[in-house]
């Protein structure tokens, strides 16, 4: 073997060898047990980042390990390739979104290959290709035929300058993120998927996902938001009625006003005869439509002059139009209880409305004042008539029972979950396969005409959706009557693309989205790995999509991911100086910095810079590390090993130069150890054999549990034991075992050494077998003390008798020197632990 391992040569050589041997291509005809390992596929932004490396290294180790354990492994890769960044690039750089996206895919694929991931590239998909989204259109039509897709008018964020609908995250402080224009709320016809039909099933299904993080299940449970409450009506002073829903009927005596959404029929009716109300409603249209934005916006209202009669007390409460009430939630109207809801508290404070207390810690606290904020917790009812003294649950039941007996309300279950609006007014997405005909209405595109492909000749020089302005693309004949019609110009939310891609990875026939028999063989995904930021929407939508396809008979599986793991982020300290001109920090990248033990300087001028907090790597803070530079400097195996070391995989991993350098040194240390392998070595070393087999078993358990940092620690420990052991057959066997143990983690190093051993490809080797007998610890180390001080240690058979331990202790030369002729007056023996001689 050469003196040093050369990753620059070995990495590319073994990656080519794996490709040539098709080591990682999944075989649909295999009779082996199957394992589907999947990391969330990336958006092709142009470069992979360190977070990608950590995510994909974890999945890669598991996939390689499963293959060594005899599984047929599916470990694919693809690209979540539609979305706004490509259109932004088209507008800013004058490039076509398709060309920009495909160039980025090529760059990122090359980066992933340089890291040696065991991926089945024969199944690569990109959601922007007609070969993928044409099948998505077919599935969308299947769901439409089953009544799970519909179209209705809905409130959206509208940018009046860019002439487009904005996603919620594109509304910043009430303004369009690109134009800076005040965003308006508009009503547009939108396509929806009936996810609410599956609310109960999605909620109940969480209970069976035992291998999902509890935090993720809780987040989904809260998002689905099942609640029991009261729906009832207020009789209004103008002779009308107003329906409201509340999850806290126990607080009904605390209602001090009623509020309706700006687009509620009552608000609209008031605006017809009151120009001030109309102006207020126009004001409400400015700003985002999300619940989060509504919560944080200043609470504003308009008094309609209408009174709402309290169903129990008979008192009339003022009815306001309020900007924090949304028509899409509940009935579009609320019973406001300011003492026990913060939004209501803020509103009541602003407009000088009563804030009564109806929940307190005890009856004695009935008159306790509020300390500047609402109190939303539990307690007992106070100032609440017949409810006084009841706890919350008792009071809820009592109010619901009274409402039903008197006929003004009823108990009702409601859901926070809303149907999924999938319309996006942009070009770079899956065309929604429908045609609008003046005669026939909305008509689905016949499946024989799929895919409906995007036109290539589009113009981004004008704001808005280029599909709307295209001179020819949208003009087609109606497939039913043959008369001139127009295509749907909205495209699908990109979350649709990622809601079924795992099915297409598993089965890729040309004539349909997938083969259900192959889906049954591979699904559910055994291990899914991705960031916690996808805990709600992506994972919820994927669960819904799978259930929807099962309902219409396309597949049998309902839960797509049997086990879910959410990895931590890779973090790095920041470096900056404060700009004297504006007082803002100017950040510098790690490559520009020379770091000392306690300080840092900018290499360009030698002057000090501030060392900031260790935070998630981001381009804006410039604390990013380029994986290509790390691979070029240290090799793929060093960066892979670093990703697995130190931090538990679910926690953040701080990046450090010292850490990656230490990993690179360990690569060379192992190379030197492998050079000591001697196939002809003789002799047995029982301690080395036992440690080796115990490590094999423990590392296997760690990898199965995704405890990669623990597996790394065990390999370090075994390496140290081997290095100290004298030459023997046991030692050489242990060296070969270490090579196999590190092969899922450092595959290039392992292949290089395995080739020297002359044993073929380690990528196709089996995981080491474990001798169960060697897992049992049959020797122990006994501490020998004299007058309570440690003088010697002895390795003896586990369970040795007291008199034998005493005799061995007394026979020790170190003990005799410590006694120095003194008489032993007492011997204390703790079996399998210590012998203490008292002189």
- Average pLDDT of the segment spanning 473-492: 97
Architecture of domain 136-194+420-494: Beta Complex (2.170)
Domain ranges of the chain: 136-194+420-494, 226-415, 571-636+653-663, 779-838
Distance CA 553, CA 381 (A): 51
Selected residue with higher pLDDT from 597 and 457: 457
CB atoms within 10 A of CB 208: 11
CA distance 257 to 246: 14
Q: What percent of the chain has pLDDT over 90?
A: 79
User: pLDDT per residue over 610-621, tens digit each?
Assistant: 999 888 888 888
pLDDT bracket for residue 273 (50, 70, 90): very high
At 55-111, the pLDDT tens digits run: 999 999 999 999 999 999 999 999 999 998 898 888 888 999 999 999 999 999 999
As a CATH number, domain 571-636+653-663 is 2.20.28.290
Nearest to 505 by CA among 121, 67, 2: 121
* Chain centre to alpha carbon of residue 163: 32
Judged against a pLDDT cut of 90, whether residue 390 lies above it is answered with yes
498-534: b (≥16 Cβ within 10 Å) or e: bbbbbbbbbbbeeeebbbbeebebbbbbbbbbbeeeb
| Structure confidence at residue 296 (pLDDT) | 66
Q: Which ranges constitute the DSSP H helices of 488-607? A: 494-497, 501-506, 516-522, 537-551
Percent of all residues in the chain with a pLDDT value above 70, rounded to a whole number: 98
| 3 state SS of 152 | strand
Tens digits of per-residue pLDDT, 555-608? 999 999 999 999 998 899 999 999 878 888 999 998 899 988 889 999 999 999
3-state secondary structure string across 701-745: HHHHCCCHHHHHHHHHHHHHHHHHCCCCHHHHHHHHHHHHHHCCC
Helices first, then strands: H and E counts in the chain: 26, 37
* Distance between CA atoms of residues 228 and 231, nearest Å: 10
Question: Which pLDDT score is estimated for 292?
Answer: 56
Token representation of residue 681: 């070595």
In CATH terms, 779-838 corresponds, of 3.60.20.10, 3.40.718.10, 3.10.20.590, 3.40.50.150, to 3.10.20.590
- Evaluated on CA atoms 690, 694, 695, 700, the torsion sign reads positive
Task: Please spell the DSSP secondary structure of 614-641, one letter per residue.
Answer: EEE--TTTT----HHHHHHHH-HHHHHH
pLDDT, tens digit (0-9, with 9 covering 90-100), for 232-256: 999 999 999 999 999 999 999 999 9
Question: What span, in angstroms and rounded, lies between the C-alpha atoms of 432 and 172?
Answer: 28
Separation of alpha carbons 300 and 302, rounded Å: 7
Residue 275: both structure tokens together: 């120009």
pLDDT digits (tens, 9 = 90+) for 283-317: 887 765 555 566 667 899 999 999 999 999 999 99
Decide: 251 and 398 in contact? Cβ < 8 Å: no
Query: Is the pLDDT assigned to residue 715 strictly greater than 90?
Result: yes
Give the tens place of pLDDT for each residue, 394-445. 999 999 999 999 999 999 998 989 899 999 989 999 999 999 999 999 999 9
Q: What pLDDT score does 291 carry?
A: 55
Looking at the predicted structure, is the pLDDT value of residue 165 above 90? Answer: no
Q: Print the SS3 string covering 264-312.
A: CHHHHHHHHHCHHHHHHHHHHCECCCCHHHHHHCCCCEEEEEEEEECCC
> Would you state the pLDDT for residue 169?
58
Q: For residues 310 and 354, is the Cβ–Cβ distance under 8 A? A: no
Nearest to 451 by CA among 752, 134, 675: 134
- What pLDDT is stored for residue 289 in this prediction? 55
The string of DSSP letters for 18-41 reads HHHHTTT---TT--S-EEEEEEPP
What is the structure's pLDDT at 764?
A: 96
The CATH class for the domain spanning 226-415 reads alpha beta
Q: What is the pLDDT of residues 738-771, one digit of tens each?
A: 999 999 999 999 999 999 988 789 999 999 999 9
Its sign, for the CA torsion 672, 677, 682, 686, is positive
**The pLDDT of residue 173 is above 80:** no
- Supply the pLDDT for residue 797: 84
Reported as a single tens digit per residue, the pLDDT across 105-153 is 999 999 999 999 999 999 999 999 999 999 999 999 999 999 999 999 9
Element (H, E) at 415: strand 409-415
What is residue 583's predicted lDDT score, i.e. its pLDDT? 85
Residue 4's pLDDT is what?
A: 95
Q: What tokens appear for 100 in the block?
A: 């920009």
Q: What is the bridge-based pairing of β-strands 570-578 and 653-654?
A: parallel
Rounded Cα distance, 530 and 566, in Å:
5
Reference 248, options 373, 337, 139, 175; nearest CA is 337
């Amino acid at each position: 073997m050469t003196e040093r391992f050369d990753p620059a040569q070995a990495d590319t050589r073994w990656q080519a060898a794996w490709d040539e041997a098709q080591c990682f291509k999944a075989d649909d005809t295999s009779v082996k047990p199957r394992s589907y390992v999947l990391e969330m596929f990336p958006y092709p932004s142009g470069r992979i980042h360190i977070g990608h490396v950590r995510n994909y290294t974890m999945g890669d180790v598991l996939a390689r390990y499963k293959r060594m354990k005899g599984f047929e492994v599916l470990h694919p890769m693809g690209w979540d390739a539609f979305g706004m960044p490509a259109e932004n690039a088209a507008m800013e750089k004058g490039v076509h979104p398709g060309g920009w996206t495909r160039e980025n895919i090529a760059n990122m694929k090359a980066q992933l290959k340089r890291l040696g991931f065991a991926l089945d590239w024969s199944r690569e998909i990109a959601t922007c290709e007609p070969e993928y989204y044409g099948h998505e259109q077919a599935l969308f039509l299947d769901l439409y035929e089953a009544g799970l897709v519909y179209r209705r008018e809905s409130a959206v964020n509208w940018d009046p300058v860019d002439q487009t609908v904005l996603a919620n995250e594109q509304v910043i402080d009430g303004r369009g993120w690109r134009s800076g224009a005040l965003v308006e709320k508009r009503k547009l016809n939108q396509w929806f998927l009936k996810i609410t039909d599956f609310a109960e099933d999605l909620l109940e299904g969480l209970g069976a996902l035992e291998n999902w993080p509890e935090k993720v299940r809780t987040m989904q449970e809260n998002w689905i938001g099942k609640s029991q409450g009261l729906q009832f009506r207020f009789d209004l002073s103008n002779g009308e009625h107003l329906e409201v829903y509340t999850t806290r009927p126990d607080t009904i005596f605390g209602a001090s006003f009623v509020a309706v959404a700006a687009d509620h029929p009552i608000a609209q009716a008031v605006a017809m005869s009151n120009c001030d109300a109309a102006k207020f409603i126009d004001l409400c249209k400015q700003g985002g439509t999300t619940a989060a934005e509504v919560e944080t916006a200043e609470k504003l209202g308009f008094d309609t002059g209408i009174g709402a009669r309290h169903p129990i007390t008979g008192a009339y409460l003022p009815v306001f139009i309020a900007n924090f009430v949304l028509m899409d939630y509940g009935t579009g109207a609320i019973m406001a209880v300011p003492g026990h809801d913060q939004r209501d508290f803020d509103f009541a404070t602003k407009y000088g409305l009563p804030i009564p207390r109806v929940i307190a810690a005890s009856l004695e606290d009935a008159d306790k004042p509020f300390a500047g904020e609402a109190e939303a917790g539990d307690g007992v009812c106070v100032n609440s008539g017949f409810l006084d003294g009841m706890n919350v649950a008792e009071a809820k039941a009592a109010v619901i029972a009274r409402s039903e007996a008197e006929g003004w309300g009823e108990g009702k279950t409601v859901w926070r979950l809303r149907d999924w609006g999938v319309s996006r007014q942009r070009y770079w997405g899956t065309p929604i396969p429908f045609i609008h005909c003046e005669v026939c209405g909305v008509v689905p595109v016949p499946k024989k005409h799929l895919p409906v492909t995007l036109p290539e000749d589009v113009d981004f020089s004008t704001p808005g959706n280029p599909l709307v302005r295209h001179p020819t693309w949208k003009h087609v004949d109606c497939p039913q009557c043959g008369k001139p019609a127009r295509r749907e110009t909205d495209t699908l939310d990109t979350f649709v693309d990622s809601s079924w891609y795992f099915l297409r990875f598993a089965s890729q026939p040309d004539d349909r989205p997938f083969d259900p028999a192959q889906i049954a063989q591979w699904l559910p995904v055994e291990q899914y790995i991705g960031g916690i930021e996808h805990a709600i929407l992506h994972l919820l939508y994927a669960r819904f999509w799978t259930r929807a396809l099962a309902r219409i008979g396309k597949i049998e599986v309902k839960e797509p991911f049997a086990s879910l793991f959410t990895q931590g982020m890779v973090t790095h300290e920041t470096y900056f100086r404060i700009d004297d001109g504006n007082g803002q920090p100017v950040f510098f990248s790690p490559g520009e910095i020379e770091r000392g033990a306690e300080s840092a300087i900018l290499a360009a001028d030698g002057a000090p810079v501030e060392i900031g907090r260790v935070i998630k790597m981001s381009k804006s803070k410039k604390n990013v590390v380029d994986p290509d530079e790390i691979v070029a400097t240290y090799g793929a195996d060093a960066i892979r090993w670093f990703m697995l070391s130190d931090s538990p995989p679910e926690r953040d991993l701080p990046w450090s130069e010292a850490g990656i350098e230490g990993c690179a040194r360990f690569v060379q240390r192992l190379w030197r150890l492998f050079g000591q392998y001697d196939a002809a070595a003789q002799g047995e070393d029982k301690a080395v054999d036992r440690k080796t087999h115990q490590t094999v078993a423990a590392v296997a358990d760690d990898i199965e549990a995704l405890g990669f940092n623990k597996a790394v620690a065990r390999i370090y420990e075994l390496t140290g034991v081997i290095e100290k052991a004298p030459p023997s057959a046991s030692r050489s066997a242990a060296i070969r075992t270490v090579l196999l143990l590190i092969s899922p983690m450092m595959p290039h190093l392992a292949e290089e050494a395995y080739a020297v051993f002359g044993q073929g490809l380690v990528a196709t080797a089996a995981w080491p077998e474990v001798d169960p007998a060697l897992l049992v610890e049959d020797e122990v180390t006994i501490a020998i003390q004299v007058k309570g001080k440690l003088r010697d240690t002895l390795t003896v058979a586990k369970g040795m008798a007291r008199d034998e331990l005493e005799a061995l202790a007394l026979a020790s030369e170190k003990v005799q020197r410590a006694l120095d002729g003194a008489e032993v007056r007492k011997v204390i023996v703790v079996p399998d632990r210590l012998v203490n001689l008292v002189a």
